[in-house]
Structure 1
């Protein structure tokens, strides 16, 4: 009986200490660093409380707090870091139209891009795969198979890059290089009419096209609009000269505040801007640009400090823009950045072709495997691609060579190690999720 009481005391103490850690990390990042109001914090936490995966999406700082304190045998050299995506998970992949007009499948979120070990992207993605599998009641053996499928595809593609058999600067994943659900997604996305999104969020009056008010799209205050319009010339000046149109093309026709997007980004300002395009006032070639506030990337608080990186990217909008340009060889020609009220923003097109493969559309493990294989190859492409066009001299070596060297020759050992860790950490996420809900309930009392 005494032994049982002691065991129970240890268990309770362990949970209490973890809950206190969770509370301190949330207070530090959402409260002190992000400066979110209590209302914004509760809005974010309500979304995180939806599922363990939603909690995981919204608490990247907890992941990095944990993982940066663990030892892994496969890290690349700190002196030769990789440009990482920084928040890689299952729902940060999607279909969209590239600059060349092709519908491709790729990563579509670069807010947390930073320099660090390639392994952090793989670890975060592998845990998300385990969590997605658990929502589908896939057994542990199937979870391990799913994670290994992703990792093997990554390793094999990195080796092809390192051996110069494939070129990360030209490799894309369109309907000819995908299969199964992804190919269906891309073909379906191709059939979308370019004006579909435009007509869905705007309305045409007798004199002009304007944003239609909804729960997620609301008019800005006069002050918000004034500040954005004053900063707009700086955005136009930041555009790449190779794809830039005449200034009149970017003339603002209307502005709206966008609510309800993302999980980790709740509390950051986001606007939709309707610009003129090439046609007249009533034309359907108007473009909708998304202006999104961005802060310092979460990985930066846990990875080695890089003075050269911060010298080049003190503006966080420029960092996000450059990350996407580095990782996509056909990047959005509307990518740019500006400052509004002392806060950093980046700008991108709100593509009418943007579409994501939702996890609930996948019903069988057999359907999931080709998706994960493609995601593994795309992750390898991101890491190998990011050093190709960056003109700032931050990466003067081939990342794929460094990663290839760090992984070594034993693919099975590498995959088993990462998959085993991911499976264990997914358990931790589920335990943290329960602690989080208890903590949130106490906070709201």
Structure 2
């Protein structure tokens, strides 16, 4: 099946799962023309449909509760219940039970495709695997006030970025969330907070098109912000014709995490705190090659810790890894990246004009 047909089928399914914001979906279509990395981030549904055909030797590997939409920028920071700054995977929208290698392949594929962080050699894949093995062996969170303080330059929020965040919040358009979503947002605010207004927000890659609502409030002399984003079953389940359920909290609050205490799921919406220090990793301005390898090691480590939370998975995964050739991840990522690039070029060449409510077929 061509990418165009898969995209149309997925968007029809998405409309059956939530009230799609058509203007945001159009924005997603436009963003998908930017580069192959952005395209990869926006099209996990296609990855879920294709990856087992592209890498058939991996599909019978041990299955674990996986991230699904793993990529080099699906990592970021948050504050745990103790106020500690934590770093790790922070988006589990596509969580599903998947053969463990596919999270690794997607991470390595994204490293190949990212325009300003491109790494296509065997060292990249080997570094990810090395970190992943350590995460399996010694799983735990990455706490940036302790052993992982070297990572701070990657996630530090500048004064300019803080100003930009609050300017953006000021410009969010007013909106009226459904009553149950409004109630969930209010409930997540601290005691004594005074709601100023509800707004909408356009953010994300693959999640563009899902409704997002924001509560802006004042509390103890300053503003605080909460977001509600529609949560639907993983596109992995869609691609395999199974009736799955969202598994977001199963991973976000997993055994080896230091979770964000503001994460909640209410009536198929993810409720979370957003703030300048609650931020995604952006590799666009990071140029030091050695630090990039260190960072890829750390991303592999956190992924290993996520997979280690599946009961009985550690020994099975380690045994499976021992049986694989040293360059298996490099080869699989190369194959997957070529397929993504092909789909991306097709999208840019033959994409039809967008019409509200209708997906190109």
TM-score range, shorter chain: 0.7 to 0.9
Out of 45, 48, 60, which is 2:44 matched to?
60
Partners of 1:68 and 1:302 within 8 A in 2:
no
- Is 1:118–2:100 an aligned residue pair? yes
Superposed, 1:243-254 pairs within 5 Å as 248-249=191-192, 252-254=195-197
Q: Which residue of 2 aligns with 1:95?
A: 77
C-alpha deviation, 1:94, in angstroms: 1.6
Q: Which residue of 2 aligns with 1:50?
A: 34
Q: Which residue of 2 aligns with 1:151?
A: 129
Out of 74, 85, 88, which is 2:67 matched to?
85
Q: Which residue of 2 aligns with 1:174?
A: 144
- Is 1:371–2:295 an aligned residue pair? yes
> What is the distance in 2 between the residues matched to 1:303 and 1:403?
23
C-alpha deviation, 1:136, in angstroms: 5.4
C-alpha deviation, 1:276, in angstroms: 5.7
Partners of 2:229 and 2:270 within 8 A in 1:
yes
> What is the distance in 2 between the residues matched to 1:174 and 1:37?
36
> What SS is found at the alignment partner of 1:43?
helix
TM-score for the superposition, normalised by structure 1: 0.69
Superposed, 1:248-397 pairs within 5 Å as 248-249=191-192, 252-259=195-202, 261-275=203-217, 277=219, 279=220, 283-284=221-222, 286-302=223-239, 305=242, 313=245, 316=246, 319-326=247-254, 329-339=257-267, 344-385=268-309, 387=310, 397=311
Partners of 1:219 and 1:257 within 8 A in 2:
yes
Q: Which residue of 1 aligns with 2:346?
A: 435
> What is the distance in 2 between the residues matched to 1:398 and 1:32?
34
> What is the distance in 2 between the residues matched to 1:423 and 1:118?
18
> What is the distance in 1 between the residues matched to 2:96 and 2:338?
27
- Is 1:398–2:308 an aligned residue pair? no
> What is the distance in 2 between the residues matched to 1:57 and 1:100?
32
> How many aligned positions are there?
351
> What is the distance in 2 between the residues matched to 1:135 and 1:32?
34
Cα pair distance change 1:66/1:183, threshold 3 Å: same
Q: Which residue of 2 aligns with 1:27?
A: 8
Cα pair distance change 1:437/1:198, threshold 3 Å: closer
Cα pair distance change 1:296/1:74, threshold 3 Å: closer
Cα pair distance change 1:433/1:327, threshold 3 Å: farther
Q: Which runs of 5+ in 1 are unaligned?
A: 1-19, 203-210, 388-396
Q: Which has the higher contact order (CA 8 A, sep 6+)?
A: 2
> What is the distance in 1 between the residues matched to 2:23 and 2:200?
17
Partners of 1:90 and 1:128 within 8 A in 2:
yes
C-alpha deviation, 1:442, in angstroms: 6.4
More helix by percentage: 1
C-alpha deviation, 1:275, in angstroms: 4.4
Per-residue Cα deviation, 1:325-349 (whole angstroms, up to 9, x for no partner): 116632121222223xxxx211011
Partners of 1:92 and 1:107 within 8 A in 2:
yes
Per-residue Cα deviation, 1:274-302 (whole angstroms, up to 9, x for no partner): 3465x4xxx22x53111111111111224
TM-score for the superposition, normalised by structure 2: 0.84
RMSD: 3.3
C-alpha deviation, 1:356, in angstroms: 3.6
Q: Which residue of 2 aligns with 1:407?
A: 321
Per-residue Cα deviation, 1:5-31 (whole angstroms, up to 9, x for no partner): xxxxxxxxxxxxxxx611110000023
C-alpha deviation, 1:39, in angstroms: 4.4
> What is the distance in 2 between the residues matched to 1:305 and 1:365?
42
Q: Which runs of 5+ in 2 are unaligned?
A: none
Q: Which residue of 1 aligns with 2:337?
A: 426
Partners of 1:253 and 1:275 within 8 A in 2:
yes
> What is the distance in 2 between the residues matched to 1:34 and 1:131?
29
> What SS is found at the alignment partner of 2:214?
strand
C-alpha deviation, 1:147, in angstroms: 2.0
> What is the distance in 2 between the residues matched to 1:254 and 1:120?
42
C-alpha deviation, 1:42, in angstroms: 2.6
Partners of 2:78 and 2:260 within 8 A in 1:
no
> What is the distance in 1 between the residues matched to 2:111 and 2:94?
19
Q: Which has the larger radius of gyration?
A: 1
